[in-house]
Amino acid sequence: LMKRHVLQLNPILVPAINDKLESLYHMHRLFEQEDKEAYIARHGAVIEGVITGGHTGISNALMDSLPALKVVAVNGVGTDAVDLNHARSKGLPVTGTFGALTEDVADLALGLMLAVSRQICPGHAFVQRGDWVRHPSPTAIPLSRRLSGKRVGIVGMGKVGRAIAQRAAAFGCPITYTDLRAMEDLPYAFQPELLQLARESDVLVLAAAADKAQGIINAAVLDALGREGILINIARGKLVVEEDLVDALQRGVIAGAGLDVFVDEPNVPAALLQMDQVVLQAHRASATVESRTAMGEMVLASLAQGLAGQRPEGSLTT
């Protein structure tokens, strides 16, 4: 039996998923190739499926250089790095792993909210460095701030936004959200204006798709969030004007930030690396065995359907 050819743009960290991919397909692991262009020139003609990551996507040029391509399976839920109109014009299905990572992304959002409010990372470093023994006086560490009961504003009320709301509600936090429209099935307050939402929030959490929302968190929004305010981003770096965020943190315009995503990953603005009021993660919100396994199974299903000439379940373009 001839194995069909699948191009994989990013590593997958679940051995069982890699084993299944290897047993079913002739895998082309582009991320291991030194000269990617030459590799595509050599093998592009036979590639029928692509696996890529949410924030890395696929360029139009690469799509166009794979004439036999039948499906692009995004191993993630944010498809902003794929030009869906371009894929649609080619009749090319694009799928995501919708629903597979919701709980873990929401968990990390709450983790960042707690870590920033309660200064968990500086506290850890204080003990780890041996400073607690050297300076046992309670005055050695300033008081932190409570999370419970604080007003939480959520930007983007999709699956992840809702899961964050549920968790924050359990902390007694009143929830307000913004999105393109109010959602009748939700018990939370809707605020159509982002600026007003920021004004009314102690913690502003970004959970929006970035396709049409680039740079919505700017100096004005951060100013509205205010000096006790905390920004959490587990969605996409480009939702934020990063220079404005750095400036707001430096000048105490807001109190702190918990960031899993950045504009130009893996490059994090140098100023953020020095800040005690900031908690940084390396785009890890979906990086659990559970989420990545569920995501991998969805990718496998998309490939199987797409290569069989069927419309993959949940295709965004076909």
Q: Which is nearer to ligand 8YV, 56 or 144 (CB)?
A: 56
At its nearest, how many Å lie between ligand 8YV and the CB of residue 41? 25
Among 25, 40, 47, 54, binds ligand 8YV (CB under 6 A): 54
The piece of 53-61, 171-179, 217-225, 239-247 that touches ligand 8YV (CB under 6 A) is 53-61
Nearest-CA neighbor of 77 among 105, 49, 58, 50? 105
Q: Which of 28, 236, 242, 292 is catalytic?
A: 236
Among 44, 49, 57, 78, binds ligand 8YV (CB under 6 A): 78
Gap between the Cα atoms of 118 and 123, Å rounded: 9
- 236 noted as active-site residue: yes
Binding string, 246-285, against ligand 8YV, x = CB under 6 A?
Answer: -------------------------------------x--
The tokens describing 186, both together, are 């939700």
- 88 noted as active-site residue: no
Q: Please answer whether residues 191 and 197 qualify as being in contact, where contact means their C-beta atoms are separated by less than 8 angstroms.
A: yes
Q: Which is nearer to ligand 8YV, 13 or 45 (CB)?
A: 13
The tokens describing 74, both together, are 């995004």
Give how far Cα 37 sits from Cα of 17, 18, 117, 200, Å: 26, 24, 46, 50
The piece of 1-9, 51-59, 132-140, 249-257 that touches ligand 8YV (CB under 6 A) is 51-59
Interface with ligand 8YV, residue 237, by CB under 6 A: no
Interface with ligand 8YV, residue 286, by CB under 6 A: yes
Q: Which of 55, 162, 283, 292 is catalytic?
A: 283
Interface with ligand 8YV, residue 10, by CB under 6 A: yes
Task: State the number of binding residues for ligand 8YV (CB under 6 A).
Answer: 11
Q: Please answer whether residues 43 and 25 qualify as being in contact, where contact means their C-beta atoms are separated by less than 8 angstroms.
A: no
Q: Which is nearer to ligand 8YV, 130 or 266 (CB)?
A: 266
Gap between the Cα atoms of 296 and 313, Å rounded: 15
Cβ partners under 8 Å of residue 216, min gap 6: 155, 194, 208, 239
- 86 noted as active-site residue: no
Among 50, 77, 210, 307, binds ligand 8YV (CB under 6 A): 77
Instruction: By CB under 6 A, name the binding residues for ligand 8YV.
Output: 10, 53-55, 75-78, 101, 283, 286
